[in-house]
Structure 1
Amino acid sequence: MPVVELSAGTIDYDDTGGNDPVLLFLHGFAQNGSLWRHVVHELRAEHRCVVPTLPLGGHRHPMRPDADLSLRGVSRLVSELIERLGLQEVTLVENDWGGAHLTIAEDGDQRVSRLVLTSCEAFDNYPPGLPGRTVWLAAKIPGGITAMAQALRLRGLRRLPIAFGWMSKRRVPDDVMDSWLHPVITQSAIRRDARKYLRAVDRRDTFAAADALRCFDRPALVIWAAEDRVMPPDHGRRLAELLPRGRLIEINDSYTLIPEDRPGELAATIRRFIREAPATG
């Protein structure tokens, strides 16, 4: 897997290569780029798909001890990644994590030509829902992240509502979730990074991110899981209304992790959006 050196440390990423347009896919906490494997499989023949693993607990390489791993800090890393890889006219696609809003508020908006938000953190839902609040509270307790990570060695516990049970309607394959959780289970430095991110949670960041959308005057699509139990469906409508050129599509039979529950429909929706919305970079 290729890596790129950023100011915070070493980041893994996948890159299908190929011709433009470029799609950059972002995942959520305690996950990695494999969240997007099915969607990338559907789109790679027509698009260059770049999928980084962000330092959100599912990353393999510990960040530097002084790295800013707040929502704002990680969103700046996305901008830095875009610049370092020389990507242009990027379609930025996020799920679960809400930092892409801030990325376009930083320097990254100069290279982002389209935005796709799929069921993600927004407004006052940060940390998001029951699983988000549970892990956030664990980070406040000495040893809490370690205890939670070790408990998730037991695959049966992963489907509890406080873990991933309300994140996807369908069970994420064990080997995929093992890859998501292995770093935080086995490496104390990764748990340190995850703890740092969680302890930096500040709702002012998600409200600032939402405000940034008012100034994004390029094509934007909000895709929300109609049955989402972690990210309120009303937030999808509110985000679409903030975007000057935004519109909303709801997907049925899915929870937050639409790339796991409905990857084919999600890929088709993204493909259609790109065809109908020429880049304006």
Structure 2
Amino acid sequence: MSIDVAALGPEHEIALRGGPIRYHDVGSGPVVVFVHGALVDATVWAPVIPALVAAGLRCVVPTWPLGSHRVAVPGMDLTPPGVAAVIDEFLAALALDDVTLVGNDTGGGLVQILLTTTGRERLGRVVLTPSDSFEAFFPPRFAFLPVLAHVPGALAGFAATALRFPAINRLPIGFSALAKHPLDAALLRRWMRPAATDRRIRADAGRFLRGVDRRHTLAAAEHLGEVDLPVLLAWAVEDPVFPISLAHRLAARLPDARIAPVEDSFCFVAQDRPDRLAELIREFLRDERDATRAADPGRAT
């Protein structure tokens, strides 16, 4: 799928304690905030945004400092718990409440950490698409990345090679493992260019990757039973990296969770099946609003 940056709406920048975060903000109505994974940016969500805006939702789509960002944040805590706290700070800085938080890939793991560590008072509900969970942070296929980040010069070489030869992403350790349908070469170059060409971004990426460890998602899993929010697990049934068995394990821990299978997709459901993901998010918000009205008929909606 090709790049459609315009679908994300205008780009803004907000200063947080550790540095700036750039984000897109489009539409009006109930707020949906998105959390992508490592080495991609906000454009991974672009195909799903127009349908959500048309459904009367406000979509806030940040590029988090996970290696494909364009403004370095050397003063930001980029450990996984640190990034979870940055997400929380971002929501507070924009005064966003009753947020539907949507996570994918590494971002879904960060959302789980957020839910169980830094507070969730600004959240109304959560959507997890295929994501790092339990022992899979990173999953075995991408476990080489934290190792690579510890070797001087290795991350630079990897990023430069991926930028120059997008076909490398067709390998089992490339982005093709995360998308069932081919990703546009220009999109792949966009994702890899910051780390390949800017040593400051590469330093940020290295700091995050070196902090990735399953102990963070395993610790979060121990507290999922305390999450008093509705959670939709919109999971790809064919995903080879994050199998749907992870969704079933999450659902068994979460007090209020449902699984919505997504066909014909791998991890990047916003790229493979944007129509299905938009439909599931719309239905999830509608069902939650209906449940709120039934529980409190006098409450304004």
TM-score tier, shorter chain, comes to over 0.9
Matched positions, count: 277
> Which position in structure 2 is the counterpart of 1:177?
188
Larger Rg: 2
| Aligned pair partner of 2:76 in 53, 58, 67 | 67
Matched AA of 2:112: H
Q: What are the Cα deviations for residues 53-104 of structure 1, in whole angstroms up to 9, with x where unaligned? A: 011001001112x421011111100000000000010001001021001212
Deviation at 1:182, TM superposition (A): 1.3
> Which position in structure 1 is the counterpart of 2:145?
135
Structure 1: 5+ residue stretches without partners: none
| Aligned pair partner of 1:48 in 35, 38, 58 | 58
Cα pair 1:79 1:106 within 8 Å, conserved: no
Structure 1 CA distance, aligned partners of 2:181 and 2:174? Answer: 14
| Aligned pair partner of 2:33 in 24, 38, 50 | 24
RMSD after superposition: 1.4
> Which position in structure 2 is the counterpart of 1:101?
112
Q: What are the Cα deviations for residues 227-279 of structure 1, in whole angstroms up to 9, with x where unaligned? A: 11111221111111211110111111111111111110011011001100138
| Alignment of structure 1 residues 200-279 onto 2, 5 Å | 200-278=211-289
> Which position in structure 2 is the counterpart of 1:7?
17
SS at match of 2:177: coil
Matched AA of 1:91: T
Structure 2 CA distance, aligned partners of 1:156 and 1:77? Answer: 34
Q: Please give the TM-score of this superposition, normalised by the length of structure 1.
A: 0.95
Cα pair 1:226 1:233 within 8 Å, conserved: yes
| Aligned pair partner of 1:167 in 169, 178, 181 | 178
Q: Please give the TM-score of this superposition, normalised by the length of structure 2.
A: 0.89
Structure 2: 5+ residue stretches without partners: 1-10, 293-301
Task: Name the CA shift for 1:212/1:15 in 2 (closer, same or farther; >3 Å).
Answer: farther
Structure 2 CA distance, aligned partners of 1:145 and 1:38? Answer: 29
Cα pair 2:68 2:192 within 8 Å, conserved: yes
Deviation at 1:214, TM superposition (A): 1.3
> Which position in structure 2 is the counterpart of 1:122?
133
Structure 1 CA distance, aligned partners of 2:139 and 2:205? Answer: 15
Cα pair 1:101 1:212 within 8 Å, conserved: no
Cα pair 1:213 1:242 within 8 Å, conserved: yes
SS at match of 1:156: helix
Deviation at 1:165, TM superposition (A): 1.7
Give the share of equivalent positions with the same residue, in percent: 38
Structure 2 CA distance, aligned partners of 1:225 and 1:129? Answer: 18
Cα pair 1:82 1:108 within 8 Å, conserved: no
Structure 2 CA distance, aligned partners of 1:162 and 1:274? Answer: 35
Cα pair 2:84 2:118 within 8 Å, conserved: no
2:121 is the alignment partner of 1:149: no
Deviation at 1:210, TM superposition (A): 1.9
SS at match of 2:203: helix
Q: What are the Cα deviations for residues 169-215 of structure 1, in whole angstroms up to 9, with x where unaligned? A: 11112222222111111100111111111111222110122233211
Matched AA of 2:240: R
Deviation at 1:108, TM superposition (A): 4.1
Structure 1 CA distance, aligned partners of 2:156 and 2:52? Answer: 37
Structure 1 CA distance, aligned partners of 2:92 and 2:122? Answer: 8
Structure 2 CA distance, aligned partners of 1:202 and 1:135? Answer: 11
Task: Name the CA shift for 1:150/1:36 in 2 (closer, same or farther; >3 Å).
Answer: same
Deviation at 1:17, TM superposition (A): 4.1
Matched AA of 1:152: A
Cα pair 1:221 1:240 within 8 Å, conserved: no
Cα pair 2:169 2:176 within 8 Å, conserved: yes
Structure 1 CA distance, aligned partners of 2:288 and 2:198? Answer: 43
